Amino acid sequence: MSKIALLTITHDPKGKNINLLKKLHKEFEKIYGELFITISDETSYELVKEFENTNFKIKIIPKKGAAEARRAVVSFGLTGTSKYYHYCDFDRLLTWGNNHLDELKNIMNLVPNYDYLILGRTERAFHTHPKAWVETEKITNTICSLELNKEVDITAGSCAFSEECAKYINKYSKDKMTDSEWSMIIYRIAKLGVDFLAVEGLEYQEVINGVGKVVSEAEEWFIRLKLSNIISESALKTGK
């Protein structure tokens, strides 16, 4: 059995990911020894029922944003027996599994070699995202890279870490966004290794990874700019 547990979250009121879950869950069950998911209480009943037909361990939580859901799934995962964890936003995991399954399997084989591994995007995968995401995330990534003294892509919604790191995250994570916070907890507080790998599978597909809420182009840029500011501030302040 794999030593690696999957940690993931979803908020999917329309149940748009039911078919991909049906298609891919058996593949995920082969890759991971345990699978933990926190699901918002506003998520489609049909999707929740579909998860109940899989090996996922499920926890329904109030919708309080991605950071709270991510913290909840780390805590949930620590109730299991795994020694390593792969965190990935569920929509990102579906894109990865659907388009680059072999890469996902290969990367998971590498996870036990690291304390904390930031999983980011290749140049090609990065530029599949909307322009507002690309341009604002470039700034975030620059700031985080300067703070970590290595080039990273911090905003792709995926990372892997040891049980020791999971316990530090569980104890110290509190920010509004976790994208840079978790790596800084490990880098500055735990003083463990933080590494980076770029992958193809964290690419963007509108039908899977799109936000869904219709906003103007200007509003989209403003929303992404605010996210960049929050994540960048975490990189600068966490653990100092």
Q: Which of 87, 165, 163, 74 is nearest to 119 (CA)?
A: 87
Nearest to 99 by CA among 72, 125, 76: 125
Under 8 Å CB-to-CB from 19, ≥6 apart: which residues?
none
Q: Is the pLDDT of residue 1 over 60?
A: no
Mean pLDDT of the chain: 97
User: Does pLDDT of 213 surpass 80?
Assistant: no
| 225 Cβ neighbours under 8 A, 6+ residues apart | 136
Average pLDDT over residues 219-236: 97
Task: Summarize pLDDT for 107-162 with one digit per residue, the tens.
Answer: 999 999 999 999 999 999 999 999 999 999 999 999 999 999 999 999 999 999 99
Domain count, the chain: 1
Question: Where does the pLDDT of residue 210 fall: very low under 50, low under 70, confident under 90, or very high at 90 and above?
Answer: confident
User: Is 0.95 topped by the overall pTM?
Assistant: yes
Distance (Å, whole) CA 88 – CA 86:
6
CATH assignment at residue 25 = 3.90.550.10
- Concatenate the DSSP letters of all residues of 82-109 into one string: -SEEEEE-HHHHHHHHHH-HHHHHHHHH
* Residue 83 predicted with pLDDT over 90: yes
3-state secondary structure of 27: helix
Arithmetic mean of pLDDT, 56-80? 98
Sheet holding 158-162, edge to edge: 57-61, 34-40, 4-10, 84-88, 158-162, 116-121, 194-199
Decide if pLDDT at 88 tops 70.
Answer: yes
Share of the chain above pLDDT 70, in %: 99
**Mean pLDDT in residue range 79-106:** 98
Average pLDDT over residues 216-240: 96
Question: What tens digit of pLDDT does each residue of 155-206 get?
Answer: 999 999 999 999 999 999 999 999 999 999 999 999 999 999 999 999 999 9
At residue 2, the pLDDT reads 75
C-alpha 165: how far from chain center? 15
Domain of 83? 4-237
Segment 44-54 shows an average pLDDT of 97
Please enumerate in sequence order all residues whose Cβ is within 8 A of that of 185, keeping only pairs 6 or more positions apart, or say none: 168, 169, 172, 173, 238, 239
